[in-house]
Amino acid sequence: MMGEFKAPKGTKDILPDDSPRWDRFFNAVETVYKNYGYGRIDTPIFEAESLFARGIGDGTDIVNKEMYAFTDKGGRKIALRPEETAGVVRAFLEHDLGRNNPLFKAYYKGPMFRYERPQGGRQRQFWQVGVEALGSADPALDAEVIDCALESLSAAGLEDLKLHINSVGCPICRPGYTTVLRGYILTEPDRFCPTCLERAEKNPMRVFDCKNPGCAAALQAAPLITAHLCAACADHFSAVLAALQVIGVAAEPDPRLVRGLDYYTKTAFEIKSGALGAQDAVAAGGRYDGLVEQFGGVSTPGIGFAVGVERVLLATEAAGRPAAGPDVYVATLGAEARQAGLAAAKGLRRTGFAVAVDFSDKSLKKQLSYADKAGAGFTLIVGDEELQTGAYVIKNMRTGEQAALDPESLEPWLTSQKQEGA
């Protein structure tokens, strides 16, 4: 059955059969974020376009090529958010959230928008969760934030997580390094692709993101940032690594790890999952000590990360976790029995059971196969005979155990069965 319309390219419906997986994911990560002291923030899905141009950077692909930007009917230049850090920092300043608060901590979840080529786990509307902590430059905070990201991903069922970490320097030491790197690339420009040559001008560190094997080979001997960090950045980086070691987090320093966003300073990190192979990271983040000032606020250091929800779900799907069905499926035979079934379902729902009522009017055999397909824990059968005797037949779909009970006894029986099962 196909109508005329399809979801726009790069978007996906989250269907009722699939949403329990999403709910389980959100419950798992949000519990961890709350345990680490983060409260939820919801900012608008659209903001002034200039917020992202200022925050993310005019020279970035995100702002130049990938942003959904438009002029609204009032003539305002608006953009759908391509990421959430800029929105959180805007809200932090607008509501003066740092006023009585040495460290402001918030987590978010929601859809983001980027006009990109859709591929596995990468869409034009995609979901992110993440945290932002504003107000401390302490390297121990970097370790705590990274630990929070890792703990939330393992709570969501991801295994074999690897932390890649680097320092991308600061406005004092980075320009010196990018000059050296640009010089290296432009000495033998023939060895690089046009994108890399363009990046060499605007944002040289991004050349390390190039997937072109020729460019990768040409970068083998490229100068690395590690040797060009200023003393403050080098000290910060080793303090972060030391703190991670103390809390038992394994880290793999990766001097070629860079971020696509201009605002990162010092710590940058990515988390990859073995379940996705060598594919993109499931989470990425870092420090952005200059961003608040860039938005016109008092200089306030910050750090955070974002998790790509579709990618995590792709990885946990690979690990195989079935969706849960209703607790009870009510099979009914005839109109009168259906009404009695509705009443029984209502009572059970009020006591906390998830109940699905069959409205197909098909044979009992067919209804039992529907119950099976739905993954129901129990089936309640209400027909003429059950109405006459007042005893409903209820069946444990897992053990096959069956009982005939009056409607009032259903709830205690189900509760005891569930406890036995657990």
Q: Which residues bind Zn ion (CB under 5 A)?
A: 169-170, 172-173, 193, 196, 210, 212, 215, 230, 233
Decide whether 64 or 71 has the Cβ nearer to Zn ion.
Answer: 64
**CB of 47 within 8 A of CB of 87?**
yes
CB of 267 to Zn ion, least distance (A): 12
Decide whether 175 or 352 has the Cβ nearer to Zn ion.
Answer: 175
d(C-alpha 267, C-alpha 236), whole Å: 8
Decide whether 180 or 210 has the Cβ nearer to Zn ion.
Answer: 210
CB of 38 to Zn ion, least distance (A): 28
Compute the Cα dihedral for 279, 282, 287, 291 and give only its sign: positive
Radius of gyration of the chain (CA): 27
CB of 199 to Zn ion, least distance (A): 8
State the DSSP code for 11: -
The token pair at 335 is 């109109």
Decide whether 51 or 215 has the Cβ nearer to Zn ion.
Answer: 215
Other CB atoms within a 10 A radius of the CB of residue 182 amount to 18
Decide whether 125 or 212 has the Cβ nearer to Zn ion.
Answer: 212
**CB of 309 within 8 A of CB of 128?**
yes
**CB of 279 within 8 A of CB of 120?**
yes
CB of 240 to Zn ion, least distance (A): 14
CB of 269 to Zn ion, least distance (A): 17
State the DSSP code for 261: S
Decide whether 126 or 288 has the Cβ nearer to Zn ion.
Answer: 288
CB of 83 to Zn ion, least distance (A): 24
The token pair at 36 is 């680490």
Report phi then psi at 76, rounded to 5: -85, 140
Q: Which alpha helices (DSSP H) does 188-230 contain, by range?
A: 194-202, 213-218
